[in-house]
Structure 1
């Protein structure tokens, strides 16, 4: 089946411009069987998974650069080598998000090991900021009485490597058959959820977040963009969220002198 036929089967109409579609992944120009044209928006539910962050234009550029590089180098190990694009990227990161606190840039070739690196960086910074390194002057002593844990969301997924799995809530994927070493090193909160029903976006709160004076208004939205509008930071629900988080932190039995929540880990939206 050709790409054109697949589009007809998928959308019940004819895709007028394949190139136009490739450049704007979320907008499709469709012509139905009665020659009526319309534009429909498609929501990419997997856009937060590791490699799909760049837009369509940047994806083409990245593919071209990777092909050019692959034709020149078989394998490059960063510990002893560097090439100009990677160096420029590192400098931009240090002058941007890392300005004022970071002095190194770590590269990873996949999402789960990137999470492992992020965990190491966060734990190191937390330990330094809170004086936990003062007991390790020779950097050779290990003290298992100090435990560093994460604050994350239930239902989240960060990757399949051991550290990434430890930073997620218990699920069928962390059971003994799949991850026999799993302990779950963190406090995992129930997040609000959003659903689309009858052309309305509805916000649902987890059971632990409900209260007697629960706010009924502001739970339904006409568009997805209104849910993520920054003006909602001043809504009444913000107080509900803050109260819920504070309550869970106070109730968490793991917070002791030797146990620290040292990293917040949240999947991108």
Structure 2
């Protein structure tokens, strides 16, 4: 406060998507931990080093969401770069599994063997770096004024969205579903948790979704020079 010459405690209520959730108590705890970390570490290069907080975080991830299938974790300084790294790993695994690398090693290394694309959602956003923007559907943010190099290297599916109206959660269906007969109970919910119930996996609506995805995938079969799907991005 410049007028009264004292520092007042404030809550950052508009801290973008990443830190908007913490309440006033957790906000103070986060600030304390970040200050403590900044005082201990100036800069840590991950390629050849590790430090305790990162190691503990990786272990928690492998014991939690990665339990049973993941064996390692990687860190990035922002979401856009994380997407770039994930795409590199996914494309390399795809190339290895389909012996694209074997074919490539036998040719001139300046020659591109195949155009790899992603399977992603329309309306999604992954960041502002070139590869991340290529992995999203056309939008005003990918237009020439913002991204002159954009071509859109992917198959982009039109997903449903959710919104609240009159204290009810409503499933908003994409245009391709308008011609389908959908019951009111399949698109109206009393709570957000109901939307994610496993029982919905056997609903008529789930079958329609599955059929739509399959039809789109059938239009992009196999390995071909014009492009094939080498990675899946499930991010809105």
Task: Tell me the TM-score range normalised by the shorter chain.
Answer: 0.7 to 0.9
TM-score by length of 2: 0.79
Instruction: Spell out the pairing of 1:79-94 with structure 2 (5 A cutoff).
Output: 79-93=47-61
Deviation at 1:62, TM superposition (A): 4.7
RMSD of the alignment, in Å? 3.2
Matched, 1:188 2:188: no
Matched, 1:171 2:139: yes
Deviation at 1:74, TM superposition (A): 1.9
Give 3-state SS (helix, strand or coil) of 1:215's partner.
coil
Q: What does the per-residue CA deviation read over 1:59-84, in whole Å, with 9 as the maximum and x for residues that have no partner?
A: 65554333212112222212233222
- 1:116: which partner in 2? 84
- Unpaired segments ≥5 residues, structure 2: 2-10
How far apart, CA to CA, are the structure 2 residues paired with 1:116 and 1:81?
21
- Higher RCO (C-alpha 8 Å, min separation 6): 2
Match of 1:257 among 215, 218, 224: 224
Q: What does the per-residue CA deviation read over 1:110-166, in whole Å, with 9 as the maximum and x for residues that have no partner?
A: 111111111111111222222222124489824323111111111111111111101
Structure in which a larger fraction of residues adopt strand: 1
Give 3-state SS (helix, strand or coil) of 2:56's partner.
helix
- Unpaired segments ≥5 residues, structure 1: 2-21, 26-43
- 1:199: which partner in 2? 167
- 1:242: which partner in 2? 210
TM-score by length of 1: 0.70
Match of 1:216 among 183, 189, 195: 183
- 2:128: which partner in 1? 160
The number of aligned residues is 222
Deviation at 1:169, TM superposition (A): 0.4
How far apart, CA to CA, are the structure 2 residues paired with 1:97 and 1:60?
27
How far apart, CA to CA, are the structure 1 residues paired with 2:48 and 2:114?
34
CA contact (8 A) 1:148 1:262 kept: yes
How far apart, CA to CA, are the structure 2 residues paired with 1:139 and 1:67?
52
Match of 2:73 among 90, 93, 105: 105
Q: What does the per-residue CA deviation read over 1:1-30, in whole Å, with 9 as the maximum and x for residues that have no partner?
A: 9xxxxxxxxxxxxxxxxxxxx9xx9xxxxx
How far apart, CA to CA, are the structure 1 residues paired with 2:97 and 2:30?
37
How far apart, CA to CA, are the structure 2 residues paired with 1:196 and 1:169?
25
How far apart, CA to CA, are the structure 1 residues paired with 2:85 and 2:28?
27
CA contact (8 A) 1:209 1:244 kept: no
- 2:234: which partner in 1? 266
